A and B are shown apart, each in its own frame.
Chain A
């Protein structure tokens, strides 16, 4: 597929294309070095994640497979593979990848449809595709595809960003993808929507559109909780988890967090992971971190994430071009939104929903795709403007 055809597909005019290409050539920088601070933050978080997966899954691994390191070993394999993949992604030119953005999104949408046809149910929702022994979640792939597609579209259709019609046009395909995700996994759909929303907000010169949209969203949520909330199980659990049997997970999470105190019970000493928090190495891993490491450890980990997101911000703001800046912004939005939702859920700040803690929760697809995103950030960082 040629460049020209691709540009045609995105519906860009030839003048624009010519101008873009000129600008690209002007700013083209030679592939530079790895962004070491960023790499350090990522590796540190991945390492913490491995340690915590081992700590939280040892009991369950022992129980199910007679091997306390069962889950940790698998996660190590995933993490190492993901790091290798990320390295190659960082070597690639993001601008070339972006040229295939539509194709990538369409493939991931096909996978999303496929999951409903041949997918394997886990926790009552069909979310998994199996390639040999490895499960694969198309929704994780869709997040990356959405970041790339939205960033590429907002780079290609700068003018569309001035009108509601243009913005709707850019959002058309992403919205279809998000709806496909939402059928089975509302929380991932919300994250995806937030990513798309943030990229559009950053790239569009219009402010009020987004503020109005955000206000409508907030008001909608408020009205829903006020009038229909008592009917929705999740809202009911959120408001009074101790009163309902299905508030069990939330209460267990709060017990874990609350009993952590300042310095926690010590690494490996969580009791809540002993079967009280179901699958504590997954979505609820942060509560065990709090229990074992206390608020001290929790703040350290949040601090690492803040440092990583701050580094993303710096890379985005100094990206060699618009595409790079928007790509990194999308990645930043992804990490930040998912982190915030995860911590909000375990602390019962928002109604319960299943969202993994990026880099740390156990799971192959989530760590592979998030590290692919890191690869993209590094690819952008290699072509950063020299000044910070």
Chain B
């Protein structure tokens, strides 16, 4: 029986239909594989690739002479990858053998069906290598860096420390976190459906960009010396705390910033004293321990602030060097009798003598002549209303009367440094402006960044306001402050062969009448061209608490060591001259 021609035609029609379908599908393939290729390739790649981050090493922190203050140590992080675990019990027991963790926690993480669970971070490299050598599938060991502070607690409140992810938590580590932390790189490895890396496919690698190194103005030796001096006086006077700032008054570079007791940067979560720690108060206690009094806390500056009153009065012309004052041992302000520390009175005194005597009635008089408005104008020029802008986190603000609330009593107390509060850093910055020729500087610690690869460095710039006060006023105040040390209440800061200026203070802590004081001294040298300024605060000293007696000698000791170190030589002056 034959095949009719219509049968043949139909066979051909069927073929054509099939060919049509085939062409349509080829078109569909072309659409998927050419037009949509990028889309699906991207989706597929993201399905296949497992990203592992490569930690960027954090930038080091150096002191001004190249000593490393904060370094990195290679450590490892241990994690488990659920899909790769073959024997959960083996993994759990291995982790428990090598790591000091809770079984319950480890078990939860190992049995949890997630792509990756971190078991431990900051594991010593040698221990991590041992774990790696066990070669248990499902356990992943990744290299990481841990911050290491070679000098332990030195400058702890300035440097700060980092957390588990190497992020800054307090101090410079926070303020320069962006620059120090760098950018993590990544390895994109191709994996199969179980997440096992396929070695035959090349990994795409994005190299980490290491964080930049930070060179600070801190001088390791000055910081050390100041810390020792602070600890010594804290112990002698059984004080709460002792703060010292040593700074260059010309440009605001901080050589040392001490706030003892300091804490161990390598164990920042351990309290540096015995305390009844509960879960509720733990964070508060730690925060308190980490707190940098120098910049975060305010105090009544007391007599040292007479420098500010004096500067305002001289600058505004309210008083001149030639004016004389009379101190009967008190001054009546409205119906109140405000006493001088010398109850018998200083009698008649010149302006310089009033400063040397730290005479309260004389300064109440000066304040009265200057007036609250003018006084505030100069407070403003010296930066007492605003934060200094120091490159440390958590700077506190001053506490001041509102101008319209200042009556005669407030004005009188303000004139000798009471009834308002400022931070130590605000104060040393204001006094630097007074003595450096009148330029308002920004105190700072960071000096420059160094790119660890190219060695390129970026110098940091800080705002300076030139001639915030007149240079002549600055010169006058400087001379007068030199007299305070050479002949007046600051005589214990005098150092043979050096011209030192300074002012003492003893402020009773609030609330009054508790017998608790802050003794302080601010001093600078050389008096005619100040290169270094230092402030010390002794919080709640026991026994003798006069600033001139206990605070001034500390600065003298520090200066006697650091002035030669900074290349400021003692003048060869005969003994007899210095006696005067």
Q: Which of B33-41, B93-101, B204-212, B435-443 contacts A (4 or more CB under 8 A)?
A: B33-41
Which of A295, A316, A349 lies in contact with B11, CB distance below 8 A? A316
Chain B contact residues: over half helix, strand or loop, or mixed? helix
| A254-B32 in contact given A202-B10, A274-B192, A313-B11 (Cβ < 8 Å) | yes
Could you mark each residue 447-469 of chain B with 1 if its beta carbon is under 8 Å from any beta carbon of chain A, else 0?
A: 00000000000000000000000
Q: Which residues of A contact B576 (CB under 8 A)?
A: none
Q: Which residues of B contact A332 (CB under 8 A)?
A: 11, 14-15, 18
**B1 contacts A23, C-beta separation under 8 Å:** yes
Chain A nearest CB: distance from B490 CB in Å? 79
Which of A295, A319, A322, A337 lies in contact with B34, CB distance below 8 A? A295
**B25 contacts A343, C-beta separation under 8 Å:** yes
B332 at interface, CB cutoff 8 A: no
Inter-chain CA distance A362–B386, complex, in Å, is 80
Could you mark each residue 117-161 of chain A with 1 if its beta carbon is under 8 Å from any beta carbon of chain B, else 0?
A: 000000000000000000000000000000000000001001000
Which of A260, A261, A271, A340 lies in contact with B25, CB distance below 8 A? A340
Q: Which of B42-50, B177-185, B342-350, B553-561 contacts A (4 or more CB under 8 A)?
A: B42-50
**A321 contacts B40, C-beta separation under 8 Å:** no
**A259 contacts B44, C-beta separation under 8 Å:** yes
- Which of the listed residues A19, A260, A299 has the most CB atoms from chain B within 10 Å of its own CB? A260
**B1 contacts A24, C-beta separation under 8 Å:** yes
**A255 contacts B1, C-beta separation under 8 Å:** no
A27 at interface, CB cutoff 8 A: yes
Q: Which residues of B contact A24 (CB under 8 A)?
A: 1
Q: Which of B108-116, B193-201, B285-293, B411-419 contacts A (4 or more CB under 8 A)?
A: B193-201
**B14 contacts A325, C-beta separation under 8 Å:** no
B510 at interface, CB cutoff 8 A: no
Chain A nearest CB: distance from B536 CB in Å? 68
**B1 contacts A323, C-beta separation under 8 Å:** yes
**A258 contacts B7, C-beta separation under 8 Å:** no
B73 at interface, CB cutoff 8 A: no
B66 at interface, CB cutoff 8 A: no
Q: Which residues of B contact A336 (CB under 8 A)?
A: 14, 18, 21-22
Q: Which residues of B contact A272 (CB under 8 A)?
A: 44
Inter-chain CA distance A299–B19, complex, in Å, is 13
Which of A27, A260, A340, A349 lies in contact with B33, CB distance below 8 A? A260
Chain A nearest CB: distance from B273 CB in Å? 57
Which residue of B has the minimal Cβ distance to A251? B43
Inter-chain CA distance A202–B2, complex, in Å, is 13
Which residue of B has the minimal Cβ distance to A333? B14
Chain A nearest CB: distance from B203 CB in Å? 13
**B40 contacts A271, C-beta separation under 8 Å:** no
**B7 contacts A203, C-beta separation under 8 Å:** yes
**A255 contacts B10, C-beta separation under 8 Å:** no
**B29 contacts A309, C-beta separation under 8 Å:** no
Which of B32, B44, B194 lies in contact with A271, CB distance below 8 A? B44
Q: Which of A240-271 contact B (CB under 8 A)?
A: 254-262, 269, 271
**B26 contacts A258, C-beta separation under 8 Å:** no
Q: Which residues of B contact A276 (CB under 8 A)?
A: 47-48, 192-193
Q: Which residues of B contact A329 (CB under 8 A)?
A: 11, 14
**B25 contacts A202, C-beta separation under 8 Å:** no
Inter-chain CA distance A254–B141, complex, in Å, is 35
Inter-chain CA distance A272–B201, complex, in Å, is 13
Which residue of B has the minimal Cβ distance to A274? B192
Which residue of A has the minimal Cβ distance to B45? A259
Q: Which residues of A contact B573 (CB under 8 A)?
A: none
**A295 contacts B30, C-beta separation under 8 Å:** yes
Inter-chain CA distance A321–B190, complex, in Å, is 58
**A322 contacts B33, C-beta separation under 8 Å:** no
**A321 contacts B198, C-beta separation under 8 Å:** no
A344 at interface, CB cutoff 8 A: yes
A317 at interface, CB cutoff 8 A: yes
Q: Which residues of A contact B22 (CB under 8 A)?
A: 302, 305-306, 336, 339-340
Q: Which residues of B contact A343 (CB under 8 A)?
A: 25, 29
Inter-chain CA distance A116–B47, complex, in Å, is 40
**A198 contacts B14, C-beta separation under 8 Å:** yes
B565 at interface, CB cutoff 8 A: no
Chain B nearest CB: distance from A72 CB in Å? 18
Q: Which of B193-251 contact A (CB under 8 A)?
A: 193-194, 198, 201
Which residue of B has the minimal Cβ distance to A210? B10
**B28 contacts A349, C-beta separation under 8 Å:** yes
**A295 contacts B29, C-beta separation under 8 Å:** yes
Which residue of A has the minimal Cβ distance to B193? A275
Which residue of A has the minimal Cβ distance to B6? A205
Chain B nearest CB: distance from A262 CB in Å? 7
**A257 contacts B29, C-beta separation under 8 Å:** yes
Could you mark each residue 302-326 of chain A with 1 if its beta carbon is under 8 Å from any beta carbon of chain B, else 0?
A: 1001100110010011010111111
Which residue of A has the minimal Cβ distance to B25? A343
- Which of the listed residues B6, B21, B33, B192 has the most CB atoms from chain A within 10 Å of its own CB? B33
Q: Which residues of A contact B26 (CB under 8 A)?
A: 299, 302
A75 at interface, CB cutoff 8 A: no
A347 at interface, CB cutoff 8 A: yes
Inter-chain CA distance A377–B427, complex, in Å, is 104
Inter-chain CA distance A275–B193, complex, in Å, is 5
Chain B nearest CB: distance from A68 CB in Å? 13
Chain B nearest CB: distance from A257 CB in Å? 5
- Which of the listed residues A23, A202, A269, A290 has the most CB atoms from chain B within 10 Å of its own CB? A202
Q: Which residues of A contact B275 (CB under 8 A)?
A: none
A375 at interface, CB cutoff 8 A: no
Q: Which residues of A contact B36 (CB under 8 A)?
A: 258
A8 at interface, CB cutoff 8 A: no
| A261-B34 in contact given A271-B48, A340-B25 (Cβ < 8 Å) | yes
List B residues at the A interface (Cβ < 8 Å). 1-4, 6-8, 10-12, 14-15, 18-19, 21-22, 25-26, 28-30, 32-34, 36-37, 39-41, 43-45, 47-48, 190-194, 198, 201
List A residues at the B interface (Cβ < 8 Å). 19-20, 23-24, 27, 59, 155, 158, 198, 201-203, 205, 254-262, 269, 271-272, 274-276, 290, 294-295, 298-299, 302, 305-306, 309-310, 313, 316-317, 319, 321-326, 329, 332-333, 336-337, 339-340, 343-344, 347, 349
Ordered nearest first, which 5 A-B pairs have the shortest CB separation?
Answer: A258-B40, A275-B193, A274-B192, A336-B18, A255-B44
Q: Mind listing 11 A-B residue pairs with CB under 8 Å? A: A23-B1, A24-B1, A205-B4, A205-B6, A262-B34, A269-B201, A302-B25, A305-B22, A322-B7, A325-B7, A326-B3
